[in-house]
């Protein structure tokens, strides 16, 4: 059933809000996914503050133009699912990549990160980067490493002193 002009207007308004709020956007070809797989993908995206939306390419193109964002013409060929990332910028790329590895789809067409258009290869590269929490953990480990080294050196001297005193007491 065709949408009325009013329904299209409401869809445009919702899309417009999502594009403005999104920190990252991924365009993917979702052909071949079953309803249960799409539902599973939605649940995974909800956990990381992201959403997937399937809209007509003409509406998507119009919203992107209104927000001065470009995606390239290849995005608008065939059915397109748009993934909006509202939380961590990289997490949606990781979820889509992992889902594609598991099921063979969806296939990322392109993406947008900080108003920069990303190719399919760049989307895959972003997915391979460590997540925000992983980077924070690595940074903390790097900061704590010298402290633990110093602690081990000081502890070793105390252990050596105790060993020497223990040997002296035995003899």
pLDDT digits (tens, 9 = 90+) for 22-66: 888 888 888 888 888 888 888 988 888 888 888 888 888 888 887
Locate all alpha helices (DSSP H) within 79-170, ordered by sequence.
Answer: 91-103, 120-128, 132-170
Q: What is the pLDDT of residue 2?
A: 64
- Would you say residue 83 has pLDDT above 80? yes
Please indicate, yes or no, whether the overall pTM of this predicted structure exceeds 0.75.
Answer: no
Looking at residue 169, what is its pLDDT?
85
Q: What is the residue whose two structure tokens read 């020497």?
A: 164
* Percent of the chain residues topping a pLDDT of 90: 0
Would residue 68 be called left, alpha or beta, if left means φ above 0 and alpha means ψ between -120 and 50 degrees? left
Q: Which stretch of 38-42, 104-108, 152-156 has the lowest confidence by average pLDDT?
A: 104-108
- Alpha-carbon gap, residue 137 to 20, rounded angstroms: 30
């Amino acid at each position: 059933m065709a949408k009325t002009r009013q329904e299209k207007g409401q869809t445009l308004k919702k899309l417009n809000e999502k594009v403005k709020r999104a920190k990252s956007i991924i365009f993917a070809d979702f052909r071949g996914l079953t309803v249960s797989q799409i539902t599973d993908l939605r649940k995974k995206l909800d956990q990381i503050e992201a959403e997937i939306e399937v809209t007509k390419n003409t509406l998507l193109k119009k919203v992107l133009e209104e927000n001065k964002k470009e995606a390239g013409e290849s995005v608008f060929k065939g059915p397109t699912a748009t993934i909006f990332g509202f939380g961590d910028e990289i997490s949606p790329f990781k979820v889509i990549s992992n889902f594609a590895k598991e099921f063979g789809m969806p296939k990322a067409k392109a993406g947008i990160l900080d108003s920069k258009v990303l190719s399919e290869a760049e989307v895959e590269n972003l997915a391979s980067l460590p997540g925000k929490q992983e980077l924070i953990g690595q940074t903390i480990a790097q900061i704590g490493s010298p402290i633990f080294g110093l602690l081990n050196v000081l502890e070793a001297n105390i252990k050596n002193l105790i060993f020497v005193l223990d040997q002296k007491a035995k003899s």
